[in-house]
Structure 1
Amino acid sequence: MGKIIVTGASGQFGSAAARQLLGKCAAEDLVFLSRTPESLAEFAETGAHVRQADFDNPASLAAATRGGEKMLLISTTRVGTRVEQHRNAVEAAVANGVGHIVYTSVIGGGMAQHPGIEQHDHYATEQLIEKSGAAWTHLRNSLYSNAVATAMAIPALEAGSKPDNAGDGKVAMVSREDCVASAVGVLTQEGHANKAYDITGPERLSIPQALAMISEMAGKPIELIPVDDEGMYQYFDSLGVPRTASDILPDGPIPWASEGMVTFGQSIREGYFDVLSDDVEMITGQKPRTLHSVLEQYKDLWPK
């Protein structure tokens, strides 16, 4: 097996993938990339290759992707402007002979028409990878249970309420751990070229059902306040969140825009996330974790 490259190896997803790959592959066959390679010291000590890579600097990517056969392209966080970053990484990798690109996409990532702002980036990236000449695998991840257990649960428990625009739309929330294990499986197994997988948890739940589960486990009431999309924007406005990616202040206090969150809720409400798949078990040999088990994992972070 040739070398496996992992982009964004200092992030939560990338570092978890790197650790799993070190358990399955020889360290010298692994290449871990980061804008801040000094943050990858634990991996350098194993004998893995650690390289500096900046998605906004194509010259750095030419050196960073040398000698790789497969690459895990973890989508960057810059919604609205990340397709150019992804293009730089894909073009550098293919020019260096990388033959298979595995990409962390989103449920519905292959749809040309979709309300989700974030999905538009993923769709464009899927398309450019498919046209790159490399083999591809798209891992279309569902909503992270980990985010529900933290970013959603903690403010809702603190406030005792949560405005929400997702209605009764269903989503099969998936643990980040299952997404990582699926990515590592695809990178280390044969037979996954030119396929797209829906990476979901084991059950379809609505946001109100998830909040009811959180409320019951915490022993604290959460009032769900149904709002329309404009009401959701106004809620984020009240928190000082910029509406669009172009409104984000460089080095400002909030590095994300509410349009991603609002159109994500709209996508759930309109059924775009109502997908249940057994791809996690097929790839990893393990059943995906339930939302309840992930909530248990994070419960000690909740307000008492």
Structure 2
Amino acid sequence: MSETILVTGAAGQLGQRVIHHLIETYKVAPGKIVAATRSPERLVALANRGVVTRKADFDDAADLEKAFAGVDRLLIISTDALDTPGKRLGQHKAAVAAAVKADVKHIAYTSMPAPDNSLVTFAPDHLGTENTIKASGIAYTIIRDAWYHDNYLHSMPHNLQGGKWYSATGDGKVSTISRDDCALAIAATLASGTSESAAYTLTGTVSLTNRQIAAIVSEAAGKPLEVVDVNDEQLGQGMRGAGLPGFIADMLVSADANIRAGNFDIVTGDFTKLTGKQPQPLKDFFVAHKAALTAAGGATH
């Protein structure tokens, strides 16, 4: 494939895995991959493998246009600017505008399931970005990643230590998928050379309630875990009391509310359609990460 692929957020966990799968799984020549990030000095290992590295600052429109020059296919990984409402959407709009100026042929974007029907605090960022990309006139692939298995590794070690998981999801169900599986499917779309516009939602094969998830965690870790039902206010207070920043607590409470409302109860076959594989089940993920789950001292990042 002669196309040049640029990955933003290349120093982040998802970006690193996408580039890994482009090279290792889909055999894209490293010289055809551009890894972009605000701090290119963090990309030395990729540069040593022959990957082109560039600076891309989402708060600098001219910088983005320069970074995207000569690129055929652009992956915009959603930024982590969640502390200021509207900031992330502004960054994404700047990236799309720069892509238009740089004459990029295809934009891929990492979104979330059903952003038009969501209680999650950052859903408007994703919906607004999707609409901006669609209005740009550039062919696109939108990849809506479900909640990561990996997200549970932040809270479950602490929950297992105390034997209690405080949850506001009620009887709602959620289908989760590993970050690495999302990276594999994203890399598949980037390497495919498609000129069609499409949207995919990457999920696991089943939707689970909090009690079903607790049972899976408990079995994998070899420790009991009881779900304690709380309301949104109690959950938010508990998270703030544990030292989480307000915007993170609000985001996590909104995610529980979204599950409770049934808005994350989505299962698709899109992962298999894109990769030809089955996604890693939550149980297998927890077994593989048992050391992190049972680590002393609580949360692991």
Counterpart mapping for 1:2-17 below 5 A: 2-17=3-18
Counterpart amino acid of residue 265 in structure 1: D
- The TM-score, its normalising length taken from structure 1, stands at 0.91
Question: In the aligned structure 2, how far is the partner of 1:236 from the partner of 1:192?
Answer: 45
Q: How many residues are treated as equivalent by the alignment? A: 289
The offset of 1:192, in angstroms, is 6.7
Question: In the aligned structure 2, how far is the partner of 1:226 from the partner of 1:193?
Answer: 45
Residue 262 (structure 2) aligns with: 271
Question: In the aligned structure 1, how far is the partner of 2:262 from the partner of 2:42?
Answer: 40
- Considering only aligned residues, what root-mean-square deviation do their CA atoms show, in Å? 1.4
The offset of 1:159, in angstroms, is 2.0
SS of the residue corresponding to residue 178 of structure 1 reads: helix
The offset of 1:209, in angstroms, is 1.1
Residue 298 (structure 2) aligns with: none
Residue 144 (structure 2) aligns with: 140
Counterpart amino acid of residue 206 in structure 1: T
Unaligned runs of at least 5 residues, structure 2: 296-301
SS of the residue corresponding to residue 171 of structure 1 reads: coil
Counterpart mapping for 1:113-132 below 5 A: 113-132=117-136
The offset of 1:151, in angstroms, is 1.3
Larger deviation: 23-32 or 286-295?
Answer: 23-32
Residue 41 (structure 1) aligns with: 44
Of the three residues 156, 160, 164, the one matched with 2:159 is 156
Query: 1:191-228 CA distances to partner (integer Å, 9 max, x unpaired)?
Result: 47321111001111112211121112222222211111
Residue 97 (structure 2) aligns with: 91
**Does 1:202 find its partner at 2:171?**
no
**Does 1:219 find its partner at 2:219?**
no
Of the three residues 171, 174, 183, the one matched with 2:186 is 183
Question: In the aligned structure 1, how far is the partner of 2:253 from the partner of 2:139?
Answer: 34
The offset of 1:140, in angstroms, is 0.8
Residue 19 (structure 1) aligns with: 20
Of the three residues 52, 57, 61, the one matched with 2:55 is 52
**Does 1:28 find its partner at 2:19?**
no
The offset of 1:71, in angstroms, is 0.7
Unaligned runs of at least 5 residues, structure 1: 245-256
| Equivalent residues of 1:153, 1:211 under 8 A apart | no
Aligned residues with identical type, % of pairs: 35
Question: In the aligned structure 2, how far is the partner of 1:121 from the partner of 1:62?
Answer: 21
Counterpart mapping for 1:160-171 below 5 A: 160-171=163-174
The offset of 1:30, in angstroms, is 1.0
Question: In the aligned structure 2, how far is the partner of 1:32 from the partner of 1:141?
Answer: 21
SS of the residue corresponding to residue 162 of structure 1 reads: strand
